[in-house]
Amino acid sequence: MPPTRSVTGRVTLSGKVPPNGISVMPYSPYVTTSIPCIMCRTKTHNTMACEACRRANERGDLERLDRDVTTLQERIRQAEHEHMKCLDVLEEVSRKAAEARARVKELREQKELVERRRAVAIERAKQNLERLEGEDRRVGLLQTPGAEMAKCHCRIARERSAFLVG
């Protein structure tokens, strides 16, 4: 007795097993002539989707891919913009670093000039002190206020030179 076909296209053997007990179930439980499309549920010969649904699905895939490409292009533009901003910042930092190096060089030169002037002033103060002390010994103690003040300045200069040298 042959199997019957149901409305859904499925082969059923309900009560159709022959008396010898051997099933006559076909290889596929689906009828290959009319299968509902998995998308629009219309009858089709294709086991997955009808041609119209496949074309619509491909169009949808293409539209989705087009949107993906557009969003990726926008992300690329944003990344390039960020990259350019970073390059601008890097260029600005590099320029400021060069200016700072030039300023440091200038300040070091000024510092060396001030140190040389200070050394010359200390040397003059030492010479003046020695000259005044030599005059004090020859002439005796000078009682003038200017000489006392000069000796005081020379003593201070000597202490500073000892501090700077030591």
User: What pLDDT score does 132 carry?
Assistant: 76
4-5 and 11-12: which strand pairing? antiparallel
User: What pLDDT score does 66 carry?
Assistant: 84
Q: Quick one: residue 5, left, alpha or beta (phi over 0 = left, psi -120 to 50 = alpha)?
A: beta
Q: Give residues with Cβ within 8 angstroms of 4, minimum separation 6.
A: 11, 12, 14, 16
User: What pLDDT score does 43 carry?
Assistant: 62
Segments of the chain with pLDDT less than 50: 1-3, 5-7, 17, 21, 23, 26-32
User: What pLDDT score does 127 carry?
Assistant: 86
User: What pLDDT score does 31 carry?
Assistant: 44
> What number of helices (H) and strands (E) belong to the chain?
2, 4
User: What pLDDT score does 79 carry?
Assistant: 95
What's the predicted TM-score (pTM) here? 0.39
Q: Which residues pair with 36 in a beta bridge?
A: 43
The answer to whether 122 and 160 are in contact (CB under 8 A) is: yes
Report the C-alpha gap between 80 and 85 in whole angstroms.
9
